[in-house]
Structure 1
Amino acid sequence: MNPARGLQVRVLSSPHSLNKFKVMDINKITNFFFEIATLRRLTRSHRQMIQEVSDNISDHSFRVTIIGMILANLEQCDENKVLKMCLFHDVAEARTGDANFINKQYTDLHEKEAQQDQIRGLPIADKVSEILQEYEERKSSEAIVAKDADLLDQMILQQEYFYKDEKNRQIWQDNTEKGLKTDSAKKIAKKIRESNPFEWLYQLEKDKTS
C-alpha cells in the first residue's frame, strides 16, 4: 500500500512570502551552512598548553547551549534569547579562529567585522547582529547567563583535563570562576570543582541497581 495515496498536500503562500524567498541569496545561505560545518574541525586554542585535547568549537557551542538553557530557567530569564546567544557566541570563529589568553595579548581578531561579514545576506542577519551585540555588552540578565554558561563549560573541561593535577586545576579554575556572575552558576561551579568527571556514570549504576 502506498502511504502517500490519497494524501492531499496544501501549500500556503502569499505574494509577500514568495517575493521574500526570491530575494534571498540562497547561495549565501548554503555557503553559511558549509561554513559553520567547519567549526567541528576547528580545535580550541587551549590545545597549545594542554596535551591530548580533542575539543572543538562545535562541541563547545553545543554544551554551552544546553548549560545556558538550564541556567536561564534557574535564573528566570528569557530562555529563547539565551539559547540564541549560546548558539551564535562563537560562530564567527570560523573566520577569526579561536584565540587563547596569550593570542589575545598580541592579536586584533576583528571579531565584530567577522560577525557582520559572516551573516550579511542571511534572512536572520538583523536578529543575530542584535543578539550578539547584547551578548557582548553583558548588561542584560540573558547576556550574563549566556556568558556564565560559556564559563561553566570551561570549568567542566578543566575538571576533566586536570583531574589528577590539583595544582594546575586550581589555577585554571580560579581564573575561570571569578568571571561568573549569577548565583546559580556559582553554585554549580562549586559542585563541578568537587566532582569526579565519571561520577555521573557511577551514579547511573547505583540508580540502576538500587
Structure 2
Amino acid sequence: MNADLDGLLEFLLYVGQAKRTFRTGWVLHGVEKVESVADHMYRMAVMSLLLPTLSEESKVRCMKLALVHDLAESVVGDLTEFDGIPKTEKRRRETEAMLYLTSLLPADVGREIFSLFNEYADQKTSESKFVKDLDIFDMLLQAYEYEKLQSDGEFLEDFFTGSVHNIKTDIVKQWLKQLMDCRASGEQFQLPTDSNLNTMLKHILYDEQGTFLYNFPSSELRSKSNLCISTKSKSDHSNSSSMDTTQLLANLVKSMKHHRS
C-alpha cells in the first residue's frame, strides 16, 4: 500500500469526524439539532468570501484560516469555558492534535496547515483578526437561528451578552448591528424551508430524468409540497406528539396517487 495515500486517507477521515463533532455550547443550552464543528467552519469560509474591502488574496487566506482554525477539535473535541480547561492547556492539546494531523500529509501541505492553525491562534495578522470576528459572528447568527427555529424567545441571550463586544473589525460590526437590530425588533425573519424534507420530496415528485411523476399541474404539486413542509414546521414547534416526516411524505404520496386514479 502507498504510505502517503494512507496518511491522506486518515487525515480525511479526521476531517469527516469534524462533521460528527457537536458544538458543546449549544448542547449544554438545550438546543435541538445541534450544528457540528464542520458546519461552523463551512459558513465561516463562505463569510470570508463576502468581506467587501479585502483583496482576493486576503479573502482566500481568510477562507483557509476558517477551514483550519477548529480542525484540532476533530481529535480533542470542542473544548470550551464550560469544561474548566485553562486556555494554555487547550492550546497545548490542540497543538499536539494538529502536529499529528499534519504529519499525515505531504510535508509542504502539512506545514501550511499547521502554520494557518498557529496564525489563527496567535491573532497577530489582519486576516486572523477578521476570521476571529467571523467566528464570533457565526456563533451569534447561529444563536439567532436556534431561537427562531425553537420558538423559545431569547433563550440564548447569554451568548449575545458575552460576545457582542468582542467583535473588533468594522465590516463584521456592521453585520452584527444588522443582526442585533433584527433580533431586537422581533421581526419574523423567514428562515429557509427544511432542505432535508425537500431532498426527500424530490424522489416523490420527480423521476430520474427530472420529469414529474404524476400528471399534476406544477402549481398543484408546488402547493402540496408547501403544505407538507408547512405542516411539518408547525408540528416541529408543537409540544405534543407530532406526525413525523415519513408519515407526512406517505400521506402526500397517497393523496397524489388518489388524485391520479
Normalization by structure 1: what TM-score?
0.76
Structure 1 residues 50 and 75, CA gap change in structure 2 (3 angstroms): farther
Structure 1 residues 198 and 24, CA gap change in structure 2 (3 angstroms): farther
Structure 1 residues 183 and 24, CA gap change in structure 2 (3 angstroms): farther
Partner residue of 2:14?
35
Identity of aligned residues (%): 22
Structure 1 residues 28 and 91, CA gap change in structure 2 (3 angstroms): same
1:53 aligns with 2:33: yes
SS of 1:27's partner is helix
1:111 aligns with 2:102: no
Q: Is the 8 A contact 1:69 1:79 kept in 2?
A: yes
Greater RCO structure (CA 8 Å; 6+ sep): 1
Q: Which has the larger radius of gyration?
A: 2
Tell me the distance in 2 between the aligned counterparts of 1:98 and 1:81: 24
Tell me the distance in 2 between the aligned counterparts of 1:95 and 1:41: 11
Partner residue of 1:157?
142
Q: Which amino acid letter does the alignment assign opposite residue 179 of structure 1? A: N
Q: Is the 8 A contact 2:69 2:116 kept in 1?
A: no
Partner residue of 1:184?
171
Displacement of 1:191 in angstroms is 0.8
Tell me the distance in 2 between the aligned counterparts of 1:99 and 1:121: 23
Tell me the distance in 2 between the aligned counterparts of 1:120 and 1:66: 27
Displacement of 1:50 in angstroms is 2.4
Normalization by structure 2: what TM-score?
0.62
Q: Where in structure 1 are there 5+ consecutive unaligned residues?
A: 1-22, 202-210
Partner residue of 1:139?
124
SS of 1:52's partner is coil
Tell me the distance in 1 between the aligned counterparts of 2:139 and 2:156: 11
Q: Where in structure 2 are there 5+ consecutive unaligned residues?
A: 193-261
Displacement of 1:61 in angstroms is 0.9
1:127 aligns with 2:148: no
Displacement of 1:135 in angstroms is 1.1
- Number of residue pairs matched by the alignment: 180
Moved over 6 A (4+): none
Displacement of 1:38 in angstroms is 1.6
Tell me the distance in 2 between the aligned counterparts of 1:60 and 1:147: 13
Provide the aligned C-alpha RMSD in A.
2.6
